[in-house]
Chain A
Amino acid sequence: MTPARRATIEFLLDNLVWLMLIVVLIVFSLTVPRFFQFGIFANIIEQSTFVGVMAIGLAIVIISGNLDLSVESTAALAAMVTGLLFATQGIGLGIALEPAWLILPVSLAIAMLVGAAVGMANGFFVVRLGMSAFIVTLASFIWVRGLVVAISGGRSAQSLPAAIRVVGTADILGLPLLAWISVGCFVLFSFIMAKTPFGRYVTLVGGNLEATYRAGINSNRILFVSFVLAGLLAGVAGWLLAIRTSGATANLGVGMLFNAFAAVVIGGVSLKGGIGKLPGVYAGVLLLYSIHTAINLMGLPAHYTQMILGALVLAAVLLDTLKLRLREKLL
């Protein structure tokens, strides 16, 4: 095989998920009535924001060789705290700040702190005490959702002030601001993962913990920070979710963990750690939400929606597996 041919095949395989996304978008555009319009594509990017931001943190933890099942509940907690403090209806305390725009950085900082605190707790138990990440974060998934129910009493907080709602309603160049935020998060963290020592260490630690330890890399610190980052990003996702729905309910975000995991896997991140790139994860998120949107537009009978979604996710993962085999065979 010539080097040029090899490079082409490698490029195609590395970006297979993007090709899949393009193919899916073309198929939906041709077959689903009223799918092919700018607004629908903008909706797909906007709706993928919450799972997308959540999936960045999840992917970082998985690439580092661990697992975080708590991101969905952490996002829900951050959303509920945002709603509880700043919403004006329901159980919202309606805290107002002067000047009004201060609510944006203050609420974001609080949501990030909430998320980071859960991430630190996870990191402490997994890294410092050596407990299984699966068990620790499963426990967090449960207790954090329980905390959401406890602090809300099962009630909802609604109607966030206009100063914060602007994030959910404004658009720039026709694209919702929420969409720009998710794109921005992916660009930023893709850069961090690809171009900074931290990003490279995360991949190295996930690939071979022993070797990085021997190379003098503080692997425990890298693992701990990856959990904190996952929590922090889940907090941001929850903050965005609260803004999008103008408040929070006790079941907000339920089911998003499945979507985040599916996106990460479809995006080419190995559950064994050490392999994966964030642009692929973003393509995975967009692919999932293209499917969601197509199902919404097709008006399929309610009972079949989950079946179709599951089958399409399976098909996407199957293609990814075929890609790995093809790579082994050809390269």
Chain B
Amino acid sequence: MNHISMDAVRAAEARAWSTPLADLAPADPQLFKDNAQWAYFERLRKEDPIHFTRDSEFGPYWSITNYKDIMAVDTNHKVFSSLSTLGGISIRDQRADFPLPMFIAMDPPIHDAQRKVVSPIVAPGNLAILEQTIRERAQTILDALPRGETFDWVDRVSIELTTQMLATLFDFPFHDRRKLTRWSDVATTIAGPGGLVETEEQRQAELRECAGYFMQLWNQRVNAPPTTDLISMLAHGESTRNMTPQEFLGNLILLIVGGNDTTRNSLTGGLYAFSKFPEQYQKLRANPELLDSAIPEIIRWQTPLAHMRRTAVSDIEIGGKHIKAGDKVIMWYVSGNRDEEVIESPNALIVDRARPRQHLSFGFGVHRCVGNRLAEMQLRIVWEEILKRDLDIEVLEEPERVMSTFIKGYISMPVRIRN
């Protein structure tokens, strides 16, 4: 498998530099599955940083590939809309037959009101309360790992930990917690034979099951005094208590995917990165206080969401290109986070980098990741506990990656603990 994937990377690299620029189309899920997208973005940053692709399975789209232009688009929500009815926040347009309204895919002022209901749960005071629970759960998971035998890091650590965390945030029945993982995966998958779900009908049926399950929890919580879990907050929040069932489902999916996939893949990505840069791990092992910079560095290096999409609502000129109202605009965080103009040696993981927090993985502006501090805290705790145990973890094979231009993640990664 290793072999094939290296061939795919080399073939993609050759194509990236030989394809006529006008035909270059980086939004190809197979490229991301093969981890072969890098050369496409390297060329675009050099030769055509704001690039128009006329035709693709996602229709025509602009690619914004360098750090500064991404910052300019991300902070200009008046021109670059996130509205779901215009297509939403990922390159694949939101389906009109199964709309999932969520605040990430709204514009101010409704966005602002709904976001403010959710943000207290990830405010510093609440994080401090959660920290001990997360640490205990991380300890239990790490202590239960087998020694000297092969296991899947994604399943045993990354998924398990983030899923337990989500169950805690929602006060979700603990024994059913893997349903959260399933719903998160189903929400972002594309139905097809051999896929996670075979048909779009099956996908929607599973999401309706998710909605039904949460509706029960909502009904329990709305009739009880307010508590600090997310469902209770939504059920009692002034701007959210009258949400339609579709809006409720949309915001739930947002919180499940937002709190699940991203942290999960950064947990795997960190270990994978250390296997590529073992001297960096040794540096961290000798100086655990470097975790303060190592954690944001891992999040930059991984970039768990490869892009965010906007739709222009008025004509605008940017970098000499004329973007028209209605155009689909893709901010490739995965590219901006490797922009050599802003980040020195961007392809390397450097645990003591000078300004590690200046990266695009959380986005900037009004849509900046609401849970960014929670994500950092979870990652920090896991690495603190790994360092305390001085686990010597060997990555045995290249991980299997997700077939998506949006979720930049891992399906599995076999590892072994040597000590």
Partners in one complex: no
